[in-house]
Copies of this chain bind each other. A is one copy, B any other.
Amino acid sequence: MATIHTLQEIQKALSGVNLTPYIEQGFIAYSNNEVIVPPVGELIFDDPPGDTHIKYGYIKGDEIYVIKIASGFYNNPELGLSSSSGLMLVFSQKTGILQNILLDDGHLTNIRTAIAGQIAAKHLAPETINTIGVLGTGIQARMQVEYLKSVTPCREVVVWGRTPERVEEYKYDLETKGFNVAQADSPAQVASSVNLIITTTPSSTPLLFAADIQPGTHITAMGSDTDKKQELDSSILARADIVIGDSISQCRERGEISKALAAGVIEEKHIIELGNYISNTPPFKRDNKTISVVDLTGVAVQDIQIAAAVCEKLMQMNREPRSKVS
């Protein structure tokens, strides 16, 4: 019978697992057309307002397939509940039988998203990062920075957010985690003093423009995941030396790249898919004037791979001899 795993068990399983190679291999498999990812399923609710998304797919020849269900119900905080919830179901690709139910409540999605940013920085960021600039003060604004710890020794952060209280909380949280956090009055002020920018807001109008960006800057844009949201003015993508998307087909429809394509300032043939970029040798070389943009819209292969990693570890933990009761 399928085993059910609580968030606590999942967190225990995650400790000590290096997830980055899983997600990298996922992006590579995706760019090699080895991943089947049908269109996202969606349910929209009016009263109370909410939405549920079903993402699912598999890597050809793999052991498993994964169905992820994630919900956002925006009045939940009034009831003392988190607005987001969700789970992942892991099935055998050989028999179709359900193997694991991961009641992760969206935690694995947060991690796989943070790791995609880490991978973008690992492969694209300037060799020496002087300061990390962050737009936004939410979960990803925190996690993206934490997950950079293994990529750079830089612990200097400049943050901008719309709500002063949230910025204060953000500063406090990140400082307890070993970062020095300065506050900026505007997105442009963030960009003026950093060479790595992470954008993590739900903005639907551009926050940064080409003139704001310093030469030598890398930008990971992960806030925009729909056709409505936009954080970077298309002039930035037009000016960038290299533009990478996590999924070209998805970036055609949503995220920063879709806006720049629609504006006619970039051409699809110049966009590189993240998995192709990672696996390509020799890699793109940046100099101190290079501007790079990675647009992350979120691909189901990230879910497949993080679920695979967790299930492997859970199986391994299960095989380990239990401590004897003497």
Q: Which residue of B lies closest to A58 (CB)?
A: B43
Give CA–CA (A140, B96) in the complex, Å: 22
Interface segment, one of A45-53, A221-229, A285-293: A45-53
Interface residues of A in 70-94 (CB under 8 A from B): 71-73, 76, 79, 81, 85, 87, 89, 91, 93-94
B54 touches A67 (CB 8 A): yes
Give CA–CA (A137, B88) in the complex, Å: 37
Flag whether A186 is at the interface (Cβ < 8 A): no
Give CA–CA (A4, B96) in the complex, Å: 19
Supply 11 A–B pairs (Cβ within 8 Å), ascending by A. A2-B103, A36-B44, A38-B41, A38-B43, A41-B54, A41-B56, A45-B58, A45-B93, A54-B56, A54-B67, A69-B89
Flag whether A110 is at the interface (Cβ < 8 A): no
Partner-B contacts on A (CB < 8 A): 1-2, 4, 6, 36, 38, 41-45, 47-48, 50, 52, 54, 56-58, 61, 65, 67, 69, 71-73, 76, 79, 81, 85, 87, 89, 91, 93-98, 101, 103
Contact of A94 among B48, B56, B72, B93 (CB under 8 A): B48
Which chain B residues lie closer than 8 Å to A94 at the CB level? 48, 73
Which chain B residues lie closer than 8 Å to A36 at the CB level? 43-44
A41 touches B43 (CB 8 A): no
Given known A-B contacts A43-B36, A45-B93, A101 and B4 have beta carbons under 8 A apart: yes
A56 touches B43 (CB 8 A): yes
Give CA–CA (A48, B96) in the complex, Å: 10
Q: Which residue of B lies closest to A65 (CB)?
A: B43
Given known A-B contacts A52-B65, A95-B73, A38 and B42 have beta carbons under 8 A apart: yes
B69 touches A97 (CB 8 A): no
Determine how many copies of this chain the complex contains: 2
A85 touches B81 (CB 8 A): no
Which chain B residues lie closer than 8 Å to A65 at the CB level? 43, 45, 52
Nearest Cβ on chain B to A82's Cβ, whole angstroms: 9
Nearest Cβ on chain B to A215's Cβ, whole angstroms: 45
Contact of A95 among B44, B67, B81 (CB under 8 A): B81
